[in-house]
Structure 1
Amino acid sequence: MLFEVWAPDAERVELRLEGCGHPMERDPGRAGWWKAEAAAEHGARYGFALDDGPTLPDPRSRRQPDGPDGLSAVVSPALFDHEPSWPGRALLGAVLYELHIGTFTPAGTFDSAAERLPHLVDLGVTHVQLMPVCPFPGRHGWGYDGVAPWAVHEPYGGPEGLLRFVNAAHRLGLGVVLDVVHNHLGPSGNHLPAFGPYFTDTHHTPWGAAVNLDAPGSDEVRAYLIGSALAWLRDYRLDGLRLDAVHALCDTRAEHFLAELSAAVDRLAAWTGRPLFLIAESDRNDPRTTTPRESGGLGLHAQWNDDFHHALHTALTGESHGYYADFAVDPAAALVKTLSGGFFHDGGYSSFRGRSHGRSLDPRTTPASRLLAYAQTHDQIGNRAVGDRLSAGCSPDLLACAAALVLCAPFTPMLFMGEEWGATTPWQYFTDHTDPELAEAVRRGRRREFAAHGWAEEEVPDPQDPATRDRSCLDWSEPGRAPHAELLDWYRQLIALRRGEPALSDPSWEYGALAAAPEGTVSFRRGPFHVAVNLADRPATLPLGAEAAGARVVAAWRSAGPPDPDGRLPLAPRSAVVLATAGAGRDAGR
């Protein structure tokens, strides 16, 4: 088989395969590339030695059986032979479910996670969004410290385990999305700098030197990352990718890396005949992120919208510290603004940043479905001092109200694992660094960060303590008992209603009577459906108007009843209701 590696500054490169050395020769057709032919079977261990140095893993390794610092293993192309039966599942109309393989079940493997997929089918979600699965030091971690962007974390099950998981999901009709990290590599086990200019001091990021997207040598680095992205979609038949923190991708070239990536993914979609998509995590509030390339944008298909989360979180909890401060000034107005326009910071002043921030979206060119809406994510839970979910401070009634707003708005909704039953397990920041100095630095840094916000050192969980990860695993006994079972049934109702009624999954920004009051009520109309929630601990009455008179209740949480003949809707404290007028489908609410 052919072994290749890009090492532009090396004078000599040797393939070391199963203990034997094979000199490599320069590829005359590609500058900086080396190649060698050698017989190798599936699983054979190998690496590359540059200028008689130590044996290093392959930058394009598909498997690292002994972790990031070990030798690479040959993965036979036959592993990726598939029956061409999966037609794909598009993002439009989707309900996503974010999960972490290592804590979705106590076993923390692809196979154990696959056993729980029927729960997600019964819930009604359409896509599973996996947090990163690339190799990282140790056994347990969030995955954002991965260092081998083409490989799969061995403790989860390696490449074969991921393939089994994807196939199991597809057999059940579930699409699979993978979170990938292009903006940095982890601090331990990163051997890329030995091979070439994968990083540059031209720009600096929170993780140090930036990934080289625009300095000398960046053509190959861009091709490296794009090739990795396409391999996930092509070889594992994934349906989409979530791109971590794209605002940290420093690129001054005329064609931005993200535009080049989106073009490559669109070409692959055309070639495979399957819908493929990219979802960005972006802090910029920049409409160009999801504007089509032909209209001057980057061409990504959707992006996370933290502004909606912050508005909703503030309305539910009353928190006002940090980046919640601007939203807490008038939570009702913040909710209306994000529901009607997506971004709260759309060019105005952001006190958290100390400057103006963002641009407004054009509803004529940006469907609401290009924004993901959520009440909870791994970031918004795990980056809190003790990893507390909304369920730690909000009653099941408030959680139900949040679900109604997420699942009935025109955005693409996303849930975080366990949210659907109000899981009481926290989701904390945990690591398993094998380097003692790095482990201690992470521990001290985490505690120092939250000490500045008033937390005592002993209150902040130790990321390196195995108990921190164990506490973060879902408790699968909860969904079958009160009060979790009732909340789970509510999520099922709302998702079924959304998926069954085109008006509730319509990606347009068309609303009727969108309003929120300081007293805690939020209401809007989408087609023939009225959605109303009362976040307050006292009853309320909403004057919905004559058109709501005679509307029937199709989904209700603690509802006080249907509208009266004048269209006034009584709402019990901390309740939610979806009404259907005469124009709704006959099966609405079933």
Structure 2
Amino acid sequence: MEPANKYPFAGAFVMNDGHCLFSVWAPLAENVQLILEDDYREKAFQLDKDDSGYWRIILPDIPPGMHYRYSVDGAEAIPDPASRRQPDGVHGASEVVDPHFTWTDTEWKGIPLHDMVMYELHTGCFTPEHSFEGIIKRLPYLSSIGINTIELMPVAQFPGKRNWGYDGVFPFAVHHTYGTPDQLKALVNAAHLHGIAVILDVVYNHLGPEGNYLEQYGPYFTEKYKTPWGKALNFDDAWCDGVRSFYINNALMWLNEFRMDGLRIDAVHAIWDCGATHFMEELANAVQQLESISGRKKVLIAEIDYNAPRYIKPANEGGYGLSGQWTDEFHHALHALLTNETNGYYADFGNVAPFVKSLRESYVYTGEYSQVRNRKFGRSPEQLPYHQFVVFTQNHDQIGNRLKGERLSSLVSFDALKLAAAAMLLTAHTPMLFMGEEYGETNPFLFFTDHSDPELISNLRKGRKEEFKSFNWADEVPDPQSEDEFSKSTLSWNTDNEKAAILIRYYTYLIAMRKNRAALRNTDRNATVVEEPSGKLISFERKAPGEHLLVLLNFSDKPEVFHDKQYPSLKKIFDSSEAQWSLSSTETKTSFIPPYTAVVYEIQPF
């Protein structure tokens, strides 16, 4: 029988009796044939169409590994848009995959966003193996420093052997060079056994330009809207029901069959939907139902270029009900404050005030005029808890979209690097590290692709040059097609040096403090009080019943005096300038905060 799901199924599904259901959505087609290869010697089978535009057939004795394609209205046979595996790349035949897997994580119930310490990584660049199996080997290390959630950059099938993953064209297929579907499931299973949740980055706003066969099947795209990356997907135009089902089924596959603990959804502002129920709300409802049935926590985190709290507000308050969102403005404000960069989109930031605003309100722009956007921008998130906002000092976008892919470790001093980590981990927001950050990786993270179309490659190179104009960077733009850019971006794992050893201990200590201190676990809006800064010295209080902490962050290159007269008694519990965290021994007095230093005090009662 068909997989249990209220959304019509597309793809090839191996059933318990050895039969295989083939289903493909092509509502405007007059004829669809299934072409089986291998032992069937490219034998063709006619599919039957239902009223919703799905063509189906059930065949006996179809073993996993069988290769197949579809021919629509007599045209050349092409891969299945819902293919589960493309062993020969985006232009090759699709492969039937057995979805069954022996799981051993039966006690796993997931982790709420409130408790997550996240770690973004790229499967191809994280380890020398460039694979899921390589990640499994590093899970004990990640667990030892306190990471309890990894976020995988997209793993859906993309062209060639190397890519960030946002050019994927088969949303249901695991990229063939990373490993098999079973190897990805083995990674999730192993992560759960180490107490680590897995979030997968997915792209529901566009498809990549090479190997995109969806348009040959039906109205997957619409001319009503545009995206920066190509045609907009059809979420509200004629025949949109099939498209919405396609992507909701995709989300449910990752969350249910692969047991992912959540999804990070790329650029949801480019998911255009003017219908009565926005696609993101429908997706959130479907995932909440799955969470209820499975008994496992599932989270949906959106990347949004809008400061629009409606995406993460509960449905009963007029929102779409997503769990949380990436908060780029925290990064921009912190980065500009530390580096003094004010070009490109950093022109809206650059001094203490934006970072203070991000600490206090999560968004920096809540209706003010943005000179980069040339308009008023944003809306206050009001009383939404801080943990719904994921913050970071680095991520794939903010490093990889620099001309040379420089990490923060190559741009600021060692002390400033520690200050940035403290600013992220001591805030009430949900923190996310970028792979290698915790030991000060200096290898860049560059933009890389492996396309085969000469015209596409030429346009890509021109586009990258155009993209960097607003930053006024003088150097030559690296060639994304060069394999060297991928090699340079792979982590060095150079941890056998004093700086790396200190940083690993430093991150481990701060993460443990964050997990174990009641005041640092409290993410309610009224539990954090951000004071007006004194120069470049920022202070804020974190509160919980029975505990009251004061955090000081000195972003100045000079010592700052802290006037502590308003507090009855202070007990210092953390100081980033102490000898154990430093390359040179220093000591901080209560009223004297060295340059680029974070200090935490317990506020003692009268």
Distance 1:36 1:428 in 2: 45
- CA deviation map 1:251-283 (0-9, x unaligned): 010100000000000000001000101000001
SS at match of 1:190: coil
CA contact (8 A) 2:81 2:214 kept: yes
2:79 is the alignment partner of 1:61: no
In the alignment, which of 6, 10, 22 is matched to residue 3 of structure 1? 22
Alignment of 1:507-518 (within 5 A): 507-510=523-526, 514-515=530-531, 517=533
- Against the structure 1 CA distance between its residues 311 and 506, is the aligned structure 2 distance closer, same or farther, given a 3 Å change threshold? same
Distance 1:544 1:561 in 2: 18
- Against the structure 1 CA distance between its residues 444 and 36, is the aligned structure 2 distance closer, same or farther, given a 3 Å change threshold? same
Corresponding residue for residue 462 of structure 1: 479
Q: How far does residue 211 in structure 1 lie from its aligned partner after superposition?
A: 0.1
TM-score by length of structure 1 reads 0.94
Corresponding residue for residue 171 of structure 1: 193
- CA deviation map 1:203-241 (0-9, x unaligned): 111123210000111001000000000100001100000
2:558 is the alignment partner of 1:538: yes
Corresponding residue for residue 269 of structure 1: 291
- CA deviation map 1:523-573 (0-9, x unaligned): 111122221121222211211335363413235334865665xxxx32112
Alignment of 1:545-584 (within 5 A): 545-547=565-567, 549-558=569-578, 564=590, 569-582=591-604
Corresponding residue for residue 481 of structure 1: 497
2:35 is the alignment partner of 1:13: no
2:389 is the alignment partner of 1:371: yes
Indicate the larger mover: 447-456 or 278-287: 447-456
SS at match of 2:468: helix
- CA deviation map 1:98-133 (0-9, x unaligned): 000111113211111211111211110110000000
Corresponding residue for residue 434 of structure 2: 416
In the alignment, which of 491, 516, 529 is matched to residue 507 of structure 2? 491
- CA deviation map 1:150-177 (0-9, x unaligned): 1100000131221121112111110000
Corresponding residue for residue 259 of structure 1: 281
Distance 1:468 1:31 in 2: 44
Distance 2:478 2:568 in 1: 50
Q: How far does residue 287 in structure 1 lie from its aligned partner after superposition?
A: 0.9
CA contact (8 A) 2:568 2:604 kept: no
Distance 1:417 1:548 in 2: 41
2:113 is the alignment partner of 1:97: no
- CA deviation map 1:24-58 (0-9, x unaligned): 33244644433342431011111111122222111
SS at match of 1:85: coil
In the alignment, which of 424, 448, 451 is matched to residue 406 of structure 1? 424
- CA deviation map 1:69-106 (0-9, x unaligned): 11111111323766633222221111100000111113
SS at match of 1:496: helix
2:144 is the alignment partner of 1:122: yes
Gaps of 5+ in 2: 1-19, 580-585
Distance 1:38 1:15 in 2: 14
Distance 2:30 2:461 in 1: 41
Amino acid at match of 1:413: P
Percentage identity across paired residues of the two chains: 43
2:504 is the alignment partner of 1:504: no
SS at match of 2:283: helix
- CA deviation map 1:346-382 (0-9, x unaligned): 111111111111111111xx11111111111111111
- CA deviation map 1:134-191 (0-9, x unaligned): 0111101100000001110000013122112111211111000000000000000000
Corresponding residue for residue 413 of structure 2: 395
Distance 1:14 1:482 in 2: 63
Gaps of 5+ in 1: 584-590
In the alignment, which of 277, 298, 307 is matched to residue 285 of structure 1? 307
SS at match of 2:224: strand
2:101 is the alignment partner of 1:85: no
Distance 1:343 1:512 in 2: 15
SS at match of 2:277: coil
Corresponding residue for residue 583 of structure 2: none
2:540 is the alignment partner of 1:524: yes
Alignment of 1:141-290 (within 5 A): 141-290=163-312
Distance 2:53 2:464 in 1: 43
In the alignment, which of 355, 359, 367 is matched to residue 347 of structure 1? 367
Indicate the larger mover: 288-297 or 32-41: 32-41
CA contact (8 A) 1:386 1:459 kept: no
Amino acid at match of 2:540: F
TM-score by length of structure 2 reads 0.91
- Against the structure 1 CA distance between its residues 550 and 359, is the aligned structure 2 distance closer, same or farther, given a 3 Å change threshold? closer
Amino acid at match of 2:456: L
In the alignment, which of 425, 445, 448 is matched to residue 443 of structure 2? 425
Distance 1:547 1:118 in 2: 42
- Against the structure 1 CA distance between its residues 512 and 14, is the aligned structure 2 distance closer, same or farther, given a 3 Å change threshold? closer
Corresponding residue for residue 380 of structure 2: 360
Distance 1:93 1:32 in 2: 42
CA contact (8 A) 1:511 1:524 kept: no
Amino acid at match of 2:151: Q
In the alignment, which of 348, 355, 366 is matched to residue 335 of structure 1? 355
Distance 1:336 1:83 in 2: 42
Distance 1:537 1:255 in 2: 51
CA contact (8 A) 2:572 2:602 kept: yes
- Against the structure 1 CA distance between its residues 273 and 428, is the aligned structure 2 distance closer, same or farther, given a 3 Å change threshold? same
SS at match of 2:442: coil
Q: How far does residue 518 in structure 1 lie from its aligned partner after superposition?
A: 6.4
CA contact (8 A) 1:548 1:563 kept: no
Distance 1:102 1:358 in 2: 36
Amino acid at match of 1:240: G
Q: How far does residue 326 in structure 1 lie from its aligned partner after superposition?
A: 2.1
Corresponding residue for residue 472 of structure 1: 489
CA contact (8 A) 2:21 2:58 kept: yes
Amino acid at match of 1:520: K
SS at match of 2:142: helix
- Against the structure 1 CA distance between its residues 80 and 52, is the aligned structure 2 distance closer, same or farther, given a 3 Å change threshold? farther
- Against the structure 1 CA distance between its residues 349 and 173, is the aligned structure 2 distance closer, same or farther, given a 3 Å change threshold? same
Corresponding residue for residue 588 of structure 1: none
Corresponding residue for residue 460 of structure 2: 442
Amino acid at match of 1:9: L
CA contact (8 A) 1:240 1:278 kept: yes
Distance 1:442 1:576 in 2: 42
Q: How far does residue 440 in structure 1 lie from its aligned partner after superposition?
A: 2.4
